Structure 1
Amino acid sequence: MSPPLTGIRVADFSRVIAGPLASMHLADLGADVVKIEHPVGGDDTRGYTPPDYHGLSGAFLCYNRNKRSIALDLSVPEGRATARALIDAADVVIENFSTGVMAKFGLDYESVQRPDLIYCSTSAYGRTGPFQKRLGYDPVVQAESGFMSLTGHPHQEPVRTAIPMVDVSTGLTGGVGVLAALYHRKRTGQGQFLEVPLFDTGFAQTGLHATGYLLDGTVPERLGNGDYFLHPVGRYASADGDIVLAVETDAQFRALAQALGLSAPSDWGTNAGRIADRARVDRALADVLAPLTRLEVLVALQAAGVPCFEAREIPEAFADPAASQALVSVPHPDLGEAPDMPSPMRLEGSPARAPQGAPLLGRDAAAVLREWLGYDTERAARLRATGAMGAAEEAA
């Protein structure tokens, strides 16, 4: 079976993380995603080095698998005309420039719209409203949405998540939005404009904490590795390393107490009682875990049905045989292979595309121009001669 989006063409003007993540998920599902980049440097993340692999940055590899690349200079009339032709041949456009940039080039939705076109914009603050001209990135939006205030340890300053979660959630939401728009088009024949601002996504990611505040004004405190609604949940030290516990039910807590020989007062028999006495529960756990090795703790608790595992650093996690399906060297058209991870979506009837490494800058121009626009090699050469299109990048 073919991947589910086989035959869908995506003209991808996005860069950095949010937009490229949305288009990468579409590419994983079989869409022909053409990344339209500036001839000088291309996507910003190409320069996010080290680390790199033969000149391709780890960040670029992470968010751009299964795509093709063409390098167009939109400041050159022929470059803009070629970009417009690609849009006219596409089912979907994705862009995340600052407000006004695509309009300056005559490539905004109002300029290129047609009845069946789906156009996804993932700006920082949206194309309308009081903040439309502001620049914004994940760290700023994490802070101003209140999302960052939820992360960190009690009585310490808030901490930004190491993974750019607002960017990531915006990319995921944008991808879902495009899928919904494609389904709508299949039913009605109509495309549409859709917008996923980072600012809105940041607020949405505050989730149940936002709901609690709106219900009764509760301001959540930072709990480090703990959980607002369950206890004990968190990272605890054993004699030779840390473990992470996630006790979800009273039955699991009783099993934990029996397995570890923990003397628990009656009021710890309910989750509410344990939450009300977090500090004492944690001290009691620390005392019983301190003389035990990590393996002893894991064997005892897992046998008792208590969710737990060792707290790992990246090298430990990647060395686990269970990670073998998620960690691979994928084929690369120019480098032979490249480190990457396949899509985590496991569709049985229409599987995701076999992963291919992120492209070198401009490497697919000739094929894209021929397949999408019917241009021959002479016309492609003229585009290069005018400076409208960059040459393909050489492998390092």
Structure 2
Amino acid sequence: MSETNPKAALQGVRVLDLSRVLAGPWATQILGDFGAEIIKVEKPGAGDDTRSWGPPFLKGEGGAHGDAAYYLAANRNKRSVTIDFAKPEGAALVKRLIPHCQILVENFKTGGLKKYGLDYESVRALNPSIVYCSITGFGQSGPYSKRPGYDYIIQGMGGLMSLTGEPMGEPMKSAVAVADLFTGMYAVTGILAALRHAERTGEGQHIDAALLDTQVAMLANLGASYLVSHEKPTRLGNQHAAIAPYQVLPTSDGHIILAIGNDGQFRDFCEAAGVRLCDDPKFAHNEARVHNRVELTAALTTIMQRKSTAQWVAALETAQVPCGPINTLDQVYADPQVVARHAVESVTRSDGTELKLAANPLRMSATPPTTHAAPPTLGENTDAMLTELLSLSEAELARLREANII
């Protein structure tokens, strides 16, 4: 685990993180990777909901459950401060932290922080230059704004599930919470743009990031196809709506992905496979292959079952035909490219527990993201942060702890 990089892009930026679960913590984790100081405010005795979202769990003392792996995935490079801001004295403590921060991230229900005096208007009065990012399911306006929003529901409402799954099967969600993660990443983009504006002008702003808005935006080419044609795309399983062959095919010992993006690559495939499909007018050009995908798939299924996945990958990579295996996670983490890119790193928590985490995937030549702190144990930084920023005495900390404020 490396020390904080003094050249980190966000060195000197402090974030007050009132978020929990995934979209908000994912955003603040990225900011932390870039060098921002993240103060993660959690409820005393409970903390972020995901600390208990398991199994699997880290093993605590005597074999007791430690934090869940889910929590560990989204909370490196943060300092955990326990404050119960549902109590007036706790809310007052959080308000005292606000002038020390440049960014605030929260993902409570729309309007949920107003009763604590922690809504944007109240926070702006304390710090006019603050960048305040609200992450919700449906946004701060519109008929659904008061609804709770969960990734699964958003994948369904936002159209993704109507496009995912086998044609005759049920609609499928992504195994990874993509609406949450994309919203977190969009939030980071907006936060950095707003921070740049605040540094230039002194003017803060409110960022309204919604999972449904993000899911609609990330329909990308399929959304554009509907807007152009007004025809609803249908589920195609592992096939592509506009390219063929761009799909999973069986091999003699498993499966392989063929991702052929143009006619030249298809000719190269035919040559490497020793077949003449590219001479058939039904398959010579991409548009024809898309129209005749059922017949093409039948032919390719027979061809690809002649060799193993490894044999096909070796032959097609030599021919520069895009392809790849479908790896299980043990194969992913053992893959030589993944290992060479240092995609996994080892960190040690303050209690001495060692664990492995996925590293930030960006490689930057001057200001690289780094992991300088493992995901914190609940409240491990409370005394240090409140002493450093608010100059609280040991006696005051003891009184607040006795009253279950911290």
Asked whether the two chains share a fold, i.e. TM above 0.5, the reply is yes
The match for 2:273 among 250, 256, 260 is 260
Encode CA deviations 1:89-114: one digit per residue, 9 max, x unaligned.
Answer: 11100000112321011111111113
CA apart distance, 1:9: 0.5
Q: 1:93·1:119 contact (CA, 8 Å) conserved in 2?
A: yes
Q: Which residue of 1 aligns with 2:62?
A: none
SS in 2 for 1:334: coil
In the TM superposition, 1:159-238 aligns within 5 A as: 159-238=172-251
CA apart distance, 1:125: 1.4
CA apart distance, 1:291: 2.0
CA apart distance, 1:128: 2.4
Q: Which residue of 2 aligns with 1:89?
A: 100
Alignment root-mean-square deviation, CA: 1.3
CA apart distance, 1:251: 0.8
1: CA distance between counterparts of 2:350 and 2:77?
11
Q: TM-score, normalised by structure 2?
A: 0.93
1: CA distance between counterparts of 2:282 and 2:372?
53
Counterpart amino acid of residue 277 in structure 1: N
Q: 2:107·2:136 contact (CA, 8 Å) conserved in 1?
A: yes
Q: Which residue of 2 aligns with 1:24?
A: 29
1: CA distance between counterparts of 2:95 and 2:273?
67
Q: 2:81·2:385 contact (CA, 8 Å) conserved in 1?
A: yes
Q: Which residue of 2 aligns with 1:293?
A: 308
Residue 252 of structure 2 corresponds to residue 239 of structure 1: yes
1: CA distance between counterparts of 2:353 and 2:217?
41
The match for 2:370 among 318, 339, 353 is 353
CA apart distance, 1:386: 2.0
2: CA distance between counterparts of 1:279 and 1:377?
73
1: CA distance between counterparts of 2:255 and 2:227?
36
1: CA distance between counterparts of 2:296 and 2:105?
50
Q: Once structures 1 and 2 are overlaid, which stretch shifts more, 3-12 or 107-116?
A: 107-116
2: CA distance between counterparts of 1:230 and 1:303?
22
* Residues 216/294 of structure 1: CA separation in 2 closer, same or farther (3 Å cut): closer
Counterpart amino acid of residue 30 in structure 1: G
The match for 1:283 among 298, 303, 311 is 298
Q: Which residue of 1 aligns with 2:399?
A: 382
Counterpart amino acid of residue 108 in structure 2: F
Q: Which residue of 1 aligns with 2:63?
A: none
Encode CA deviations 1:216-272: one digit per residue, 9 max, x unaligned.
Answer: 202111111111221111111111121111001111100100111122113312111
Q: 1:337·1:357 contact (CA, 8 Å) conserved in 2?
A: no
Q: TM-score, normalised by structure 1?
A: 0.95
The match for 1:13 among 3, 7, 18 is 18
Percent identical: 38
1: CA distance between counterparts of 2:221 and 2:337?
32
2: CA distance between counterparts of 1:337 and 1:45?
19
Q: Which residue of 2 aligns with 1:134?
A: 147
SS in 1 for 2:364: coil
CA apart distance, 1:355: 4.6
CA apart distance, 1:29: 0.3
Encode CA deviations 1:170-213: one digit per residue, 9 max, x unaligned.
Answer: 10111111011111112212111111011211211222222222
Residue 85 of structure 2 corresponds to residue 74 of structure 1: yes
Q: 1:262·1:284 contact (CA, 8 Å) conserved in 2?
A: no
1: CA distance between counterparts of 2:349 and 2:269?
48
Q: 2:44·2:404 contact (CA, 8 Å) conserved in 1?
A: no
Residue 124 of structure 2 corresponds to residue 124 of structure 1: no
1: CA distance between counterparts of 2:282 and 2:256?
25
The match for 1:371 among 388, 397, 400 is 388
Q: 1:116·1:191 contact (CA, 8 Å) conserved in 2?
A: yes
Counterpart amino acid of residue 77 in structure 1: P
Q: Where does structure 2 lack aligned partners over 5 or more consecutive residues?
A: 1-5, 60-65
The match for 2:51 among 32, 46, 64 is 46
Encode CA deviations 1:149-183: one digit per residue, 9 max, x unaligned.
Answer: 11111122210111011111110111111011111
Structure 1 segments, 4+ long, off by >4 Å, are: none
Between Structure 1 and Structure 2, how many residues are aligned? 389
Q: Where does structure 1 lack aligned partners over 5 or more consecutive residues?
A: 390-396
CA apart distance, 1:328: 2.3
SS in 2 for 1:101: coil
Counterpart amino acid of residue 95 in structure 1: E
Q: Once structures 1 and 2 are overlaid, which stretch shifts more, 102-111 or 206-215?
A: 206-215
2: CA distance between counterparts of 1:73 and 1:83?
9
Q: Which residue of 1 aligns with 2:157?
A: 144
Q: Which residue of 2 aligns with 1:394?
A: none
SS in 1 for 2:39: strand
2: CA distance between counterparts of 1:217 and 1:67?
46
2: CA distance between counterparts of 1:100 and 1:286?
55
CA apart distance, 1:138: 0.7
Counterpart amino acid of residue 59 in structure 1: Y
1: CA distance between counterparts of 2:388 and 2:32?
17
1: CA distance between counterparts of 2:30 and 2:391?
27
Encode CA deviations 1:340-379: one digit per residue, 9 max, x unaligned.
Answer: 1111111110111235321111000111112222223232
